[in-house]
Amino acid sequence: MSELGAFLRNKRLDQNMSLDYLQEATKIQKRYLLAIENGQYEALPGAFYAKAFVKSYSEALGLNPDTVIEQYGGELPEVHHPENRRKSRMDRLQRRRKASGKSQGRPTLLPVFAGILFLGIVGFGLFLAIQGLSDSGDQSSSPGDDPGVQVESNEDPGEPPASQENEQEEDAPAEEEEENGSQPEEVSSEGMVTTFDVSGMETLEIELTFTGESYIDTKDESGSIIDQYDGTADMDPVTLDYSDLDYVLLNIGNTSGVELTINGEAFEWPNDSIHQNIVFERME
């Protein structure tokens, strides 16, 4: 048994807390809790989960998770993230943004081309009509014989056809939807960790509105803390912009004390657990 596992086990027993109760409180399977107590980290679903599970275990016991990690974190397996994987993701993100910028620029030229084509068709039609009147003038009397009579067209070249207006109106919601992007898509849930794919979202803006007390921190892919808050109901809403990150984890200590919005839309908690970890990751 490792020093960390022995420490957590003793604290659990001091509080007369069973593994079944701890499993319900943390939403971590009992076999993983036993693996942590026995120092068998290879039995966990991944190296990253070791630190996350230990923090959740500590919080359930009323301990400061950062203090526990600082004291015993040396026993936990390291999380390796190759730099070339990050670089390739950033390259894909930049290419996606450039492609999106080009695609958004193209629709503005369509009305111009349509207008030019329409004017050409109208002009050609007027030319044919005038030619027809000139040819028939030699055989019968027509308004064309009188130079004071002018042939007028009911069509106004300056006004776009009704079909073009309809197409522009139909394109507007599509362009607005493209600008807003899609919402996070849940792809997996393991214990207290729920992962969402945000590959289709250029913007990832998270707003925290505290309705009670809740500890919240956010971490990058290496597990380093980006932002940290001890939220209370009298705090102003906090806006976090992670659009340039491919991975961010939200550690929510008390989901009943905070509300989330993603890009301005309300975010529903994936389950009823009080303590949850939410991962937003660009998987493409």
Range in 148-152, 191-195, 218-222, 246-250 with the lowest mean pLDDT: 148-152
Instruction: Give which of 29, 26, 8, 22 is closest to 277, Cα–Cα.
Output: 26
The CATH code belonging to domain 182-281 is: 2.60.40
Tell me the domain boundaries of the chain.
3-75, 106-180, 182-281
What tens digit of pLDDT does each residue of 152-209 get? 555 555 555 555 555 555 555 545 444 445 689 999 998 789 999 999 899 999 999 9
Q: Is 201 exposed, middle or buried (0-12, 13-18, 19+ CB in 10 A)?
A: buried
Strand-pairing partners, residue 228, are 217
The three-state secondary structure class of 221 is coil
Instruction: Give which of 264, 265, 269 is closest to 250, Cα–Cα.
Output: 269
State the Cα–Cα distance between residues 66 and 55, nearest whole angstrom: 7
Domains 3-75 and 182-281 share a fold: no
Domain 3-75 CATH superfamily: lambda repressor-like DNA-binding domains (1.10.260.40)
Angle ∠(179,180,186) on CA atoms, nearest 5: 130
Looking at residue 42, its amino acid is E
If pLDDT is split at 50, 70 and 90, which confidence band does 106 have? low
